């Protein structure tokens, strides 16, 4: 709800107050009061109105904000590749020509209300791989929203998170390294929103053990799949 300094028209408000990259929806309540809907607004994010030349908003007036009840979808994305597409070779393990074993960048939004921590698992869906675990991370704080490229094994990992041992026998990220000639391998990355701050896991884990640890504690999950072959 926005209040102007003087009586004005809806058209004047729509022209006078704008927001970059947003198509705002306005409704006039009385000559000085208007409600505006910001489609796709996310709780906790800051949005800045631009007051255009010739328009005056009320000074010293509280702006009331009410969030819609609809929930945003829980999504997981990577700046390195889109869902179902090829994972660039730099993120492959060092046994692959050109592989640097750099952990993939990840970002997530829309974690369900009540999320206390997050857990992440990356594994190979190909029958030859038998759900080979490439990355397992637990105790990620609910305030975290991303892992930058190359974060694994560094201080760029979310504070308090724990990287478990993958099926290569090393703690942290192990990039794709499928056997030659076995075709496309699908790598699924799943992030779980949990209602506990910690889960009881340590050392090397397989898919079944990881899923058992989050079972009954998950409020929702988001996933991303990429492809690699040699």
The answer to whether 45 and 19 have CB atoms below 8 angstroms apart is: no
**pTM given for the model:** 0.71
Bridge partners (DSSP) of residue 189 are 122, 224
Give residue 55's pLDDT: 85
pLDDT digits (tens, 9 = 90+) for 26-59: 889 998 888 888 876 766 677 788 888 888 887 6
Q: Determine contact, residues 56/6, Cβ cutoff 8 Å.
A: yes
Average pLDDT over the chain, rounded to an integer: 91
* CA distance readout (Å), 73 to 31, 42, 69, 167, 189: 37, 11, 13, 31, 17
Q: Provide the percentage of residues in the chain whose pLDDT is more than 90.
A: 67
Q: Is the pLDDT of residue 206 over 60?
A: yes
- First and final C-alpha spacing in the chain: 57
Residue 183 has pLDDT above 80, yes or no: yes
Q: Where residue 67 falls among pLDDT bands split at 50, 70, 90? A: low
Q: 100 pairs with which residues across the strands? A: none
């Amino acid at each position: 709800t926005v209040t102007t300094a003087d009586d004005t028209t809806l058209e004047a408000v729509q022209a006078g107050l704008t927001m970059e990259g947003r198509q705002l929806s306005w409704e006039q309540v009385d000559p000085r009061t208007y409600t505006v809907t910001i489609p796709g607004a996310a709780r906790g994010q800051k949005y800045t109105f631009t007051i255009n030349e010739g328009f005056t908003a009320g000074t010293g007036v509280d702006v009331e904000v009410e969030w819609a009840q609809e929930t945003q979808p829980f999504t997981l994305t990577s700046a390195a590749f889109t869902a179902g597409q090829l994972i660039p070779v730099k993120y492959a393990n060092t046994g692959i020509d050109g592989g640097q074993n750099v952990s993939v960048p990840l970002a997530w939004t829309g974690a369900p209300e009540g999320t206390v921590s997050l857990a992440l698992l990356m594994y190979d869906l190909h029958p030859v791989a038998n759900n080979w675990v490439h990355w397992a991370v637990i105790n990620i704080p609910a305030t975290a929203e991303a892992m930058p490229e190359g974060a694994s094994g560094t201080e760029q990992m979310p504070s308090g998170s724990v990287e478990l041992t993958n099926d290569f026998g090393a703690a942290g990220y192990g990039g794709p390294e499928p056997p030659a000639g076995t075709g496309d391998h699908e790598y699924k990355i799943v992030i779980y929103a949990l209602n506990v701050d910690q889960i009881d896991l340590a050392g090397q884990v397989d898919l079944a053990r990881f899923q058992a640890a989050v079972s009954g504690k998950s409020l929702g999950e988001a996933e991303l799949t990429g492809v690699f072959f040699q």
